[in-house]
Amino acid sequence: MIDDDYDVLYILVKDVKLKDNSTLESNLSKYLPREKLSQLIQEIPTLTIFVPELIDDAFSAVKWDTDLDIPKVAFIDKENNVHYIDSFGDKKTFAHNEIPLFPIVVLKKSERIVLKSSKLRSSIQDNVTVIRANNGLEFVFDDEIYDNIKPKQILTRLGANTDIPSNMNKMFDAKRFKDQVNIWQRDYIYYDINSVTGRGSFNENFGEHIYSFQLLGDPNGAYNGISDQTGDPRYNSSFVTGPRGSTPIWTDGEFEFWVNVKLASKTAVGDGIRKKFKAKGEQLFDLDIYYPPRGSGTAFVRGVSKTKKFFLPQPMYLFSWDLEKFSETVKITIEEQDDPETITNSEKTTSTFATNFEFNASIGEKEKVGAKFGATSTESKEVFYSVVTTKNADPLGDVYIAFGHDVIISEQLVDNNLITPTGETQRPPTHYPNYQPAFNPSYISGDSYKIEVATLQLY
């Protein structure tokens, strides 16, 4: 989509190595002599392979299953008649009012990209994007509105009063690039890719973090589900309150949660990441309390009124997402620990990996080529894990996070101050800003829990 259409200039891709080390041109030369192909490029240097978006979702580049769909090939003759040819070489002609409802691609002259020499030099600005083919021909966009290569101007950041922390700046910029040029937010965060055809090397100075945690479902059911063992924090059904002091509402102790991350690696051996966080009862639950009318005496707890969003004392770093090494989807499992004894099991899964990486000799590093999965296909591998869990744990379920998921869904910052039933303001820890971005809300494990995941700068 270098020109905002799903199309490809033949001259730009004819020499690209395919998986079997062949090229598009070498494959076509089995059916058409190379001399004819060269002559075709001389006559139509902007020969384009276009994938249309058909009505009723009949076919599009997004919906194209390249393993199953063999498209017919359409072209326009000198009399502007539209013909198409199937894989057997049979030719048919469209009537002027017919629209195909089957897979089809179109060979045509580009309407949005032209030879640089065909534009008057006075009309070509100094900062125009120039596309250079291997044979030295240079192309430009017929109008800058078609230029989907040049990074779009970043909008001015929200006002200073929002106080965006420095480790979140790139997340907000990534949101703007995603909205403007339809890249993945993590493409920009990890690889500085800010256009569909951009490329960049991996930046290890960023990582995935669990930012907050909240139990879901019936509040009393959530409480009973994790407060089922001796030593777990429990609320006292009654406590004394008054000017001479009061007895505790909660027993001592903290809930302990294990976070298990299954990160598939191209080595076919999965990386198991296992980290723990703790939370007090009052950090996870609000209680329905009956206080005595005079403000002193015995208060009674009638149950749990709601669960609360718990901001981890520090955002929990999990891993840095190098898409060349790791799968495009990771699985996170959370369990509440009741017994320190661990159990180790083996597990196998099939994972998908990106293949759009090339070595750049000038910088001595591999680069991700293109946003998302680029022009290449993905590959699937079976990956084996060693899975560690705790004995008698309360499993809370799984969430899946994909590299292509949005990290934040809104540039508008939302106030995360929480008001408790007694009226006092509960703020996140002091190292969290008073205002938080609207994180992706989709990381929910059934009616068990939800987490917020942030891609933050590490140092």
pLDDT of residue 136: 84
Identify which has the larger pLDDT, 450 or 55: 450
Question: Residue 232 in contact with residue 286, Cβ under 8 Å?
Answer: no
pLDDT of residue 402: 92
Q: What is the mean pLDDT of residues 263-286?
A: 81
| Distance, CA of 226 to CA of 397 (rounded, Å) | 13
pLDDT band, very low/low/confident/very high, at 417 (cuts 50, 70, 90): very low
pLDDT of residue 209: 96
pLDDT of residue 419: 36
Q: What is the mean pLDDT of residues 323-327?
A: 88
Q: Please report, for the chain, the start and end positions of each structural domain, with discontinuous segments joined by +.
A: 7-146, 206-232+253-283+307-457
Q: What is the mean pLDDT of residues 164-191?
A: 89
Q: What is the mean pLDDT of residues 328-355?
A: 73
pLDDT band, very low/low/confident/very high, at 401 (cuts 50, 70, 90): very high
Question: Residue 3 in contact with residue 112, Cβ under 8 Å?
Answer: yes
* Residue 299, both tokens: 């208060």
Identify which has the larger pLDDT, 241 or 405: 405
- The DSSP secondary structure of 324-358, one letter per residue, reads TTB-SEEEEEEEE-S-S-EEEEEEEEEEEE---EE
pLDDT of residue 303: 93
pLDDT of residue 423: 39
Does position 110 have pLDDT exceeding 70, yes or no?
yes
Does position 56 have pLDDT exceeding 80, yes or no?
no
pLDDT over 70 percentage in the chain: 79
| Distance, CA of 178 to CA of 407 (rounded, Å) | 11
Q: What is the mean pLDDT of residues 253-265?
A: 87
pLDDT of residue 84: 94
pLDDT of residue 352: 73
Does position 300 have pLDDT exceeding 80, yes or no?
yes
Q: What is the mean pLDDT of residues 99-112?
A: 89
Does position 4 have pLDDT exceeding 80, yes or no?
no
Q: What is the mean pLDDT of residues 377-391?
A: 59
Three-state secondary structure call for residue 273: strand
pLDDT band, very low/low/confident/very high, at 105 (cuts 50, 70, 90): very high
pLDDT of residue 180: 86
Identify which has the larger pLDDT, 163 or 380: 380
Identify which has the larger pLDDT, 281 or 393: 281
Residue 397, CA distances (Å) to 177, 400, 406, 442, 443 in order: 33, 11, 22, 14, 11
pLDDT, tens only, 33-55: 989 998 998 899 999 999 988 87
Strands 72-76 vs 104-109: parallel, antiparallel or unpaired: parallel
Q: How many CB atoms lie within 10 A of CB 165?
A: 15
Identify which has the larger pLDDT, 343 or 403: 403
pLDDT of residue 122: 43
* Residue 207, both tokens: 């990582």
Phi, psi of 305 (to 5 degrees): -85, -35
Strand partners, 115: 139
Question: In terms of DSSP H, where are the helices of 24-93?
Answer: 24-28, 34-43
pLDDT band, very low/low/confident/very high, at 425 (cuts 50, 70, 90): very low
Does position 157 have pLDDT exceeding 50, yes or no?
no
| Distance, CA of 214 to CA of 216 (rounded, Å) | 6
Q: What is the mean pLDDT of residues 147-167?
A: 56
| Distance, CA of 398 to CA of 445 (rounded, Å) | 6
Identify which has the larger pLDDT, 292 or 315: 315
pLDDT band, very low/low/confident/very high, at 155 (cuts 50, 70, 90): very low
| Distance, CA of 268 to CA of 85 (rounded, Å) | 43
Strands 206-215 vs 357-360: parallel, antiparallel or unpaired: unpaired
Does position 388 have pLDDT exceeding 90, yes or no?
no
